[in-house]
Amino acid sequence: MIILATFKIALRALRRNTLRTLLTMLGIIIGVGAVIAVVSIGSGAKAQVEAQIASMGQNVIMILSGNVSRGGFRMGFGTAGTLTREDFEAIRKELPDISGISPEVWASAQIAVGNQNTSTSVRGVGVDYLDIRSWRLTSGANFTEADVRNGSKVALIGKTTADLLFGDEDPVGKIIRIKNAPFTIVGLLAAKGMSGPGYDQDDIIFVPYTSAMTRLVGPGQTTFRSLTAQAATAKLVPTVQNEITNLLRQRHRIGPEREDDFLVRTQQEISEMATATSKIMTWLLGSVAAVSLLVGGIGIMNIMLVSVTERTREIGIRMAVGARGRDILLQFLTEAVVLSVLGGCLGIFIGVLSSRVLPRVLSSLGVVTLVSPTSIVVAFLFSAVIGIFFGFYPARKASQLDPIESLRYE
Amino acid sequence: MHAVVKLEDFRKTYYAGEVEVPAVRGVSLEIRQGEFVAIMGASGSGKSTMMNTIGCLDRPTHGRYFLDGVDVGELERDELADLRNEKIGFVFQGFNLLSRTSALENVELPMLYARRGVRGREQLERAMQALDLVGLSDRADHHPNQLSGGQQQRVAIARALVNQPKLLLADEPTGNLDSRTSIEIMGVFQNLNDQAMTIVMVTHELDIARYAKRNVIMRDGRIVNDLPVTERLAAGHELQRLEREQKDVQLVS
Ligand SMILES: Nc1ncnc2c1ncn2[C@@H]1O[C@H](COP(=O)(O)OP(=O)(O)O)[C@@H](O)[C@H]1O
Ligand SMILES: [Mg+2]
């Protein structure tokens, strides 16, 4: 039998009972839509994390202070810092494979210029920091080693913060008050843009880490929570990671059996850790959605079984005029596949639509979505496979009916 | 002339659970090209069972059946389907048209399953020809529920003819029709038979059987009588007579 004719018959049979067709497809529509939406959220989160990690710079190695616990390391920036200024200086001086290293001292502070007031994040860093993170200056210059040594009250200002406080004026040479201490702006940073929604990298102020430690974070804090190092080349990253680990173990006098009281992580590792959670979430939600696809498939099977029974006489007539079992099988299988693929297409449409709408609805959660073409292709193929899988049994049942009994069926 | 249908000691036994129901208990029958046979007999005498076997919808449980020289008992399900498609046209008491499907598409149906595919254009032409043959070409796009019983049966006959079968089978084709329409259908059959179509028809109406050329009478699964029709009726003539009578009735009243 001609394929085209089979399709025509299937479409007509489905049109005959539009509401039932729609209700049957609903399971597939919801399933495919949910899979696409969930996967798009997962991909979005992954892309966001990757963008942020890429913005860290190239060949970057993070050194985090930590305290040993039974389960290994507590991720994040530990309370009791174990990285001292001497550690930092030692790494900087003794490891030639490092092209730069800088502490990162994080603070959030009240900024004032005249009667203008704002709050932004202030980061205490070393002179290498701009190079490591690929920051450029549009005006002025980086602060110097001497500024760091002396804890000078100098600052580099991000584009967004500068625009807010000074408008179009060049901020270099101006004085700003950070936590009431007057700092002189020595450089204006070139804009980097957003590295994800709601996170503006240019809303920032850099000061020498020495100044940050004495004036901005609580007094008495002498250790760092994190250092950012950069290997000279990509190839050297593992070497540098080992060198830093060995040096710190030696300096911290950690015996061979004891665990590190710090954490050295390459950019690659950080990215893997950050995406691991979102990957698990995606799989989890994805399988829930897949279950609804399965339920949709069972719905199709159910309706196809009903349809075969209802149309027993039609099957008998077709067989009487010469339809082979195979023709009948193909007819009902086509119907099931058209049903599921149509549902799949609608589901893809709804999934793509919701991946557009979700970020707006959930903007407070910072949800980003990214619809991958793969997920669309997979969803489409999957719905076709569901049609074949769940349509096969009813179709086979139809094809094995006895023509005489079918003709007699009321 | 060789036999289109040849049954040799044909038996069919149904099994209803443990109980054996012998529906046909040994029938030998030959029907040659160009014959018009009416099979008669009481209800339950095995007429339909025999027709279903002749129509390749079923196989004998005993004995042999040759259709146009082919031993049907040896064939697979699919091969039977092909035989039905190529060599047999079926007309049923209840018409058995696909509902919500136009007359034209109903007639096209057997061509969908033709082993050598029929192209769309040829399909349409042949279906229209068949409808023309039964005088319904002007109702091609009507659905069964828009047609009278007689018209529906004509569509069914057109469908049965569209693949140019060797044999036209009709199981009580006039069973659901009034007497006038029945005669019209017999007219269609007689015309076809005049053009050498072999026809086997089941009926329990004596006067309908008289339109055929040969009557086979069955009882309890056996043939008890097989004789040529002596005073054969001609549908055209009978219709004229019916009209005259109707006029007379109108004149009287
Ligand atoms: N599928 C079946 N299962 C069991 N018995 C059947 C079946 N079909 C027909 N019969 C029996 O076979 C006998 C002949 O039936 P059938 O050929 O339909 O007779 P007819 O058409 O002459 O009325 C009847 O007794 C009927 O009950
Ligand atoms: Mg019968």
How far B239 CA sits from the closest chain A CA (Å)?
Answer: 31
**What pLDDT is recorded for position A134?**
85
Question: Any idea which of A50-64, A77-91, A232-246, B211-225 has the lowest mean pLDDT?
Answer: A77-91
Using a CB–CB cutoff of 8 Å, tell me whether B84 touches chain A: yes
Q: In chain A, pLDDT over 70 holds for what percent of residues?
A: 94
**What pLDDT is recorded for position A65?**
82
Taking 80 as the threshold, does the pLDDT of residue A190 lie above it?
yes
Cβ contact, residue pair B78, A323, below 8 Å: no
How far A395 CA sits from the closest chain B CA (Å)?
Answer: 16
Q: pLDDT band at residue A363, thresholds of 50, 70 and 90?
A: confident
**What pLDDT is recorded for position B169?**
98
Q: Which residues contact A62 (CB under 8 A, 6 or more apart)?
A: A226, A227, A228, A229, A263, A264, A265, A266, A267, A270
Read off the pLDDT of residues A160-182 as tens digits, 9 standing for 90 and up.
Answer: 999 888 888 899 999 999 988 89
In angstroms, the first-to-last Cα distance of chain A is: 27
Q: Closest by alpha carbon to A174, among A114, A119, A216, A107?
A: A114
Q: Residue range A333-340: average pLDDT?
A: 94
Residues lining ligand 1, Cβ inside 6 A:
B 14, 16, 21, 23, 41, 43-49
Q: Domains plus CATH for chain B?
A: 3-252 (3.40.50.300)
Backbone angles phi, psi at A277, to 5 degrees: -60, -45
Cβ contact, residue pair A16, B78, below 8 Å: no
Mean pLDDT for chain A? Answer: 86
> How far, in Å, is the centroid of ligand 1 from the Cα of B222?
13
Question: Given the CA of residue B14, which atom of ligand 1 is nearest to it?
Answer: 4
Q: Residue range B186-198: average pLDDT?
A: 96
**What pLDDT is recorded for position A19?**
94
Task: Pick the residue whose CA is nearest to atom 16 on ligand 1.
Answer: B46
Which residues in chain A touch residue B114, judged by CB atoms under 8 angstroms apart?
A: 322
Task: Pick the residue whose CA is nearest to atom 7 on ligand 1.
Answer: B14
Taking 60 as the threshold, does the pLDDT of residue A70 lie above it?
no
> How far, in Å, is the centroid of ligand 1 from the Cα of B52?
11
Q: pLDDT band at residue A73, thresholds of 50, 70 and 90?
A: very low
Read off the pLDDT of residues B34-63 as tens digits, 9 standing for 90 and up.
Answer: 999 999 999 999 999 999 999 999 999 999
Taking 90 as the threshold, does the pLDDT of residue B64 lie above it?
yes
**What pLDDT is recorded for position A195?**
58
Q: pLDDT band at residue A372, thresholds of 50, 70 and 90?
A: confident
Q: In chain B, pLDDT over 90 holds for what percent of residues?
A: 90
> How far, in Å, is the centroid of ligand 2 from the Cα of B181?
20
Cβ contact, residue pair B96, A318, below 8 Å: no
**What pLDDT is recorded for position B1?**
57
**What pLDDT is recorded for position A77?**
42
CA atoms of B173 and A405, how far apart (whole Å): 19
Using a CB–CB cutoff of 8 Å, tell me whether B78 touches chain A: yes
**Higher-scoring residue by pLDDT: A409, A200:** A409
Taking 70 as the threshold, does the pLDDT of residue B252 lie above it?
yes
Q: Which of B21, B40, B50 to mutate to test the pocket of ligand 1 (most atoms within 8 A of CB)?
A: B21
Taking 60 as the threshold, does the pLDDT of residue B230 lie above it?
yes
**What pLDDT is recorded for position A194?**
62
Q: Residue range A269-295: average pLDDT?
A: 81
Which residues in chain A touch residue B98, judged by CB atoms under 8 angstroms apart?
A: 314, 317
Read off the pLDDT of residues A197-209 as tens digits, 9 standing for 90 and up.
Answer: 556 788 899 999 9
Q: Residue range B135-142: average pLDDT?
A: 95
- Name the residue facing B113 among A313, A323, A404 (closest C-beta): A323
Taking 70 as the threshold, does the pLDDT of residue B133 lie above it?
yes
Cβ contact, residue pair A321, B109, below 8 Å: yes
Q: Residue range A342-356: average pLDDT?
A: 94
- Name the residue facing A325 among B77, B109, B112 (closest C-beta): B77
Question: Given the CA of residue B16, which atom of ligand 1 is nearest to it?
Answer: 4
Which residues in chain B touch residue A325, judged by CB atoms under 8 angstroms apart?
A: 77-78, 81
**What pLDDT is recorded for position A68?**
44
What stretches of chain B show up as alpha helix (H) in DSSP? 47-54, 77-87, 103-112, 120-133, 149-161, 179-194, 206-209, 235-252
Which residues in chain A touch residue B81, judged by CB atoms under 8 angstroms apart?
A: 319, 322-325
Q: pLDDT band at residue A74, thresholds of 50, 70 and 90?
A: very low
Question: Given the CA of residue B45, which atom of ligand 1 is nearest to it?
Answer: 22
Task: Pick the residue whose CA is nearest to atom 2 on ligand 1.
Answer: B14
Tokens standing for B133? Answer: 């043959």
Rounded to 10 degrees, the C-alpha dihedral B173/B175/B178/B181 comes to 0
Cβ contact, residue pair B81, A407, below 8 Å: no
Q: pLDDT band at residue B253, thresholds of 50, 70 and 90?
A: low
Question: Any idea which of A9-23, A175-189, A283-297, A312-326 has the lowest mean pLDDT?
Answer: A283-297
Taking phi over 0 as left and psi of -120 to 50 as alpha, with beta for the rest, B50 belongs to alpha
Using a CB–CB cutoff of 8 Å, tell me whether B110 touches chain A: yes
Question: Given the CA of residue B12, which atom of ligand 1 is nearest to it?
Answer: 12
Q: pLDDT band at residue B2, thresholds of 50, 70 and 90?
A: confident
Closest residue of B to A405, CA-based? B57
Using a CB–CB cutoff of 8 Å, tell me whether B159 touches chain A: yes
Q: Which of B49, B53, B201, B217 to mutate to test the pocket of ligand 1 (most atoms within 8 A of CB)?
A: B49
Q: Residue range B2-9: average pLDDT?
A: 93
Which residues in chain B touch residue A14, judged by CB atoms under 8 angstroms apart?
A: none
Q: Residue range A370-397: average pLDDT?
A: 92
- Name the residue facing B84 among A2, A321, A407 (closest C-beta): A321
Cβ contact, residue pair A319, B81, below 8 Å: yes
Domain residue spans of chain A? 2-52+276-408, 83-260
**DSSP class per residue in A40-89:** HHHHHHHHHHHHHHHTT-SSEEEEEE--EETTEEPPS--SS--EEHHHHH
The three-point CA angle A199-A201-A207 to 5° equals 130
> How far, in Å, is the centroid of ligand 1 from the Cα of A324?
25
Read off the pLDDT of residues A222-246 as tens digits, 9 standing for 90 and up.
Answer: 788 889 999 988 888 889 999 999 8
In angstroms, the first-to-last Cα distance of chain B is: 54
Question: Any idea which of A91-100, A329-338, B155-164 has the lowest mean pLDDT?
Answer: A91-100
**What pLDDT is recorded for position B216?**
97
Q: In chain A, pLDDT over 90 holds for what percent of residues?
A: 38
